[in-house]
Amino acid sequence: MIKKNSINPDLVEERKKCTFNTLELTHLLDGGAKKTEERKSRETFFLEDPQLQSKVPLEYLSHKEKYEEAVRKACIIFGKVQELQNQGRGGMDNFREILGGQLGSAILKDGNPLTLHYVMFIPTLMGQGTMEQQAEWIQKAWNCDIIGTYAQTELGHGTFIRGLETTATYDPSKEEFVLHSPTLTSYKWWPGGLGHSANYAVVLAQLYTKGKCYGIHPFIVQLRDEETHQPLPGIKIGEIGCKLGMNSTNNGYLGFDQVRIPRTNMLMKNSQVLSDGSYVKSPSSKLTYGTMIFVRVVIVQDAAHYLRKAVTIATRYSAVRHQSQIKPDAPEPQIIDFVTQQYKLFPQIATYFAFQYSATWLWDVYNNVTSELEAGQLESLPELHAVACCLKAVSSADAAQGVEICRLACGGHGYMTSSNLPSTYGLVTAMCTYEGENTVLLLQTARFLVKVWQNRNNLEKFTTVKYLGNDLNRDRPFQRSVEWIIYALQQTAARKIELANRHINERVQKGKAYEDAWNESSIELVAAAEAHCRSFIVETFYNTINELKVSKELKVVLVQLLNLYGVYTALRLTGDLLRFTSITGKDIETLQAWLEELLALIRPNAVGLVDSFDIRDEVLGSTLGAYDGNVYERLFEEASKSPLNAEPVNKSFKLYLKPFLKANL
């Protein structure tokens, strides 16, 4: 039904209007022409494999069938990953992309039940195992002789890791640890692939030896027989049920009834239990911070990717969809010509760039700090941690909201599964919760900011909070420029930190404990951390654009996007700007007019911009967003795949409806 080679004429026109070379931008975003080529070849390798196609779209299957189809595909994907490795095209980076990133969520829309094997199990063995343990386990895991997962979260504990209840008690007589789940709430709950897929896990548990608790440590535990896959004795295991999204990731639960493992199954790179039961402490607890920060870096990158996917879909659809009238008796316009629609879409395009550049910054700094850490320098860690926390929180929350704005901008059709916007939301909103709940993370950033604020005479060693040393009383008169907006956001952040800190102190002076005063001031603390984060994102966007070496044509467009992101951010925070800078109501009108001007400037390049993201149709996975714009044909073709449509009359007519209708005659 879909004319494969025919491009919707509206999109043809849009593409003619584009003022820059989209290929130049694609290469820029990929990190060079060579990287673009590699990405495309990886995509072809996976997406064009006939074994990785599904006969019926996943959404029509039962929960159980979805899982079974996911295991089928996951095994093929893992086989192909090994093939890549053998060709020297492997690497952790690509694994992430294939198993959970943009490409991964294209191959297995509802999640891959084996992902944690490469993404958590192997990295934990590498990061926390001794050389001997690595020799024993990594080869097996790398070869996929065993499949592992990572079991930390429990039914009763997620955020507060110290509160985990699973115990690992050392028995020196047998040189074994005894793993046990003392309560219902101590059951492991959530780990991906734990339900029916993995046969091994790294399990986090409270370590007891010689009658004393030493806190949370990691243990390798075999869960299922390698031959029969039956759960081993004492292992109570299953899946946790349906979720908002990711219904084939096979998230599981796990309880232990006095399960014994050898002493050597404790991962002992950092801390050790000797055979007599003596505990040898880790040199630094900060060594394990690295992985946590790494995962947050990845989330900022993913947030950017999900957002650009959604805005590609919504922008192309808005160029193709005609509706209503701007002028009476004129033909129905493309809905992208409604300024309210532009206001929904274009800031999301700009936000993608903003998050992308923050992710890149974070990735570079993470790598530097990791090198420092290996050299024993821990000084930069708190600042990196603080930035990673707030960037994870703000980017996941804004991206989730942005994806919903894009979905709603597609009207009823955006509500359809075949638009792929609902499941994109399911994936991006999950990031607000996992790997550190957003409010909790913002409060961690706030803790860092308040500490810095209290010692703000000594800011040399920092890079992201230097502005806290500025004189808050020195006003910078309003200008219609991103530079002024950055100043205003920094001023806002500083004043909010100052205010929250003052309110904590006032509460303490009234006799409250510091912790209670902190809790009572926490709404303002969260707001301060968020303001700090926004100023950082705009500044990073600004710095990146200023340093880019690109053609004049492209630079013009990137500066427009930077300006749009800046003014959009400023207008969302007019209350703060009016409170903390000398901006006036008249100036706000100037910003509003600038916003409207920028929307009009970006309008002719909107389709060109999302084309530059170069997201394959299979990755978009959307009836509304495909490159050719044949929206209605695709909606119809997807509907025809519904098993309900295979028969003109469903059996429920005979079973239920007819007897009911006839009973009333």
Q: Which is the catalytic residue, given 435, 618, 633, 638?
A: 435
Burial class for 542, CB neighbours closer than 10 Å (0-12, 13-18, 19+)? buried
In this chain, which stretch among 306-314, 347-355, 387-395, 513-521 interacts with its own copies, using CB under 8 A? 513-521
| Residue 437 in contact with its own copies, rule: CB under 8 A | yes
Shorter beta-carbon distance to its own copies: residue 158 or 566: 158
State the minimum distance, in angstroms, from the CB of residue 325 to its own copies: 7
Q: Which of 12, 213, 280, 408 binds its own copies (CB under 8 A)?
A: 408
Q: Are 384 and 365 in contact (CB under 8 A)?
A: yes
How far is C-alpha 85 from the geometric centre of its chain's CA atoms? 26
Q: Which of 63, 210, 281, 286 binds its own copies (CB under 8 A)?
A: 63
Distances (CA, A) of 413 to 8, 61, 625, 634: 18, 21, 11, 12
List the interface residues with its own copies, window 344-403 (CB under 8 A). none
CA dist 245 and 420 (Å) reads 12
Q: Which residues contact 327 (CB under 8 A, 6 or more apart)?
A: none
Shorter beta-carbon distance to its own copies: residue 573 or 606: 573
DSSP secondary structure of 149-188: EEE--BTTBSS-GGG---EEEEETTTTEEEEE--SGGGSE
CA dist 37 and 27 (Å) reads 9
CA dist 158 and 277 (Å) reads 29
CA dist 159 and 440 (Å) reads 8
| Residue 422 in contact with its own copies, rule: CB under 8 A | yes
List the interface residues with its own copies, window 184-203 (CB under 8 A). 184-185, 187, 189-190, 195-197
Shorter beta-carbon distance to its own copies: residue 60 or 363: 60
Q: Which of 353, 580, 594, 613 binds its own copies (CB under 8 A)?
A: 580
CA dist 183 and 420 (Å) reads 40
Neighbours of 51 (CB within 10 A): 11
Neighbours of 263 (CB within 10 A): 20
Q: Can 435 be counted among the known catalytic residues?
A: yes
State the minimum distance, in angstroms, from the CB of residue 656 to its own copies: 5
Q: Are 535 and 486 in contact (CB under 8 A)?
A: yes
| Closest to 114 in 3D by CA, of 155, 70, 57, 152 | 70
Shorter beta-carbon distance to its own copies: residue 125 or 362: 125
In this chain, which stretch among 37-45, 61-69, 203-211, 453-461 interacts with its own copies, using CB under 8 A? 61-69
| Residue 447 in contact with its own copies, rule: CB under 8 A | no
What are residue 216's DSSP bridge partners? 206
| Closest to 296 in 3D by CA, of 86, 553, 533, 511 | 533
Q: Which of 85, 130, 334, 439 binds its own copies (CB under 8 A)?
A: 439
List the interface residues with its own copies, window 312-331 (CB under 8 A). 322-328
Q: At 614, is the secondary structure helix, strand, or coil?
A: coil
| Residue 53 in contact with its own copies, rule: CB under 8 A | no
Place of tokens 């995962």: 295
| Residue 516 in contact with its own copies, rule: CB under 8 A | yes
How far is C-alpha 471 from the geometric centre of its chain's CA atoms? 36
| Residue 523 in contact with its own copies, rule: CB under 8 A | yes
State the minimum distance, in angstroms, from the CB of residue 555 to its own copies: 27
Q: Which of 25, 28, 61, 107 binds its own copies (CB under 8 A)?
A: 61
List the interface residues with its own copies, window 253-292 (CB under 8 A). 253
| Residue 451 in contact with its own copies, rule: CB under 8 A | no
| Closest to 532 in 3D by CA, of 560, 567, 573, 568 | 573
CA dist 270 and 267 (Å) reads 8
State the minimum distance, in angstroms, from the CB of residue 381 to its own copies: 22
Q: At 4, is the secondary structure helix, strand, or coil?
A: coil
Q: Are 50 and 81 in contact (CB under 8 A)?
A: no
Q: Are 478 and 581 in contact (CB under 8 A)?
A: yes
State the minimum distance, in angstroms, from the CB of residue 268 to its own copies: 27
Q: What track of x and - describes contact with its own copies for positions 472 through 501 (by CB under 8 A)? A: ---------------------------x--
List the interface residues with its own copies, window 66-85 (CB under 8 A). 67-68, 71-72, 74-75, 78-79, 82
Q: How many residues of this chain interact with its own copies, rule: CB under 8 A? A: 140
Q: At 599, is the secondary structure helix, strand, or coil?
A: helix
Q: Which of 215, 241, 262, 283 binds its own copies (CB under 8 A)?
A: 241
State the minimum distance, in angstroms, from the CB of residue 188 to its own copies: 12
| Residue 243 in contact with its own copies, rule: CB under 8 A | yes
Q: Which of 343, 363, 453, 627 binds its own copies (CB under 8 A)?
A: 343
List the interface residues with its own copies, window 536-575 (CB under 8 A). 573-575
Q: Which of 332, 475, 483, 553 binds its own copies (CB under 8 A)?
A: 332
Q: Are 180 and 171 in contact (CB under 8 A)?
A: no
Q: At 254, is the secondary structure helix, strand, or coil?
A: strand
| Residue 3 in contact with its own copies, rule: CB under 8 A | no
Tell me whether residue 192 is annotated as binding: yes
How far is C-alpha 271 from the geometric centre of its chain's CA atoms? 31
Q: Are 637 and 57 in contact (CB under 8 A)?
A: no
Tell me whether residue 575 is annotated as binding: no
Shorter beta-carbon distance to its own copies: residue 32 or 659: 659
Shorter beta-carbon distance to its own copies: residue 388 or 409: 409
Neighbours of 274 (CB within 10 A): 14
Tell me how long the chain is: 665
Q: At 636, is the secondary structure helix, strand, or coil?
A: helix
State the minimum distance, in angstroms, from the CB of residue 443 to its own copies: 7
Token couple for 359: 């992710």
Q: Which of 62, 86, 173, 457 binds its own copies (CB under 8 A)?
A: 62
State the minimum distance, in angstroms, from the CB of residue 483 to its own copies: 21
Shorter beta-carbon distance to its own copies: residue 176 or 628: 628
Shorter beta-carbon distance to its own copies: residue 369 or 591: 591
Q: Which of 226, 364, 379, 483 binds its own copies (CB under 8 A)?
A: 226
State the minimum distance, in angstroms, from the CB of residue 98 to its own copies: 16
DSSP H or E segment with residue 229:
none
State the minimum distance, in angstroms, from the CB of residue 306 to its own copies: 16
Torsion 46-47-49-52 (CA) sign: positive
DSSP code at position 231: B
List the interface residues with its own copies, window 128-167 (CB under 8 A). 143-147, 153, 155-160, 163
Q: Which of 138, 178, 274, 440 binds its own copies (CB under 8 A)?
A: 440
State the minimum distance, in angstroms, from the CB of residue 653 to its own copies: 4
List the interface residues with its own copies, window 623-662 (CB under 8 A). 632-633, 635-636, 638-645, 648-653, 655-661
| Residue 517 in contact with its own copies, rule: CB under 8 A | no
CA dist 553 and 366 (Å) reads 33
Torsion 407-96-32-290 (CA) sign: positive
Catalytic residue annotation: 435
Residues annotated in a binding site: 153, 192
Residues annotated in a binding site for FAD: 153, 192
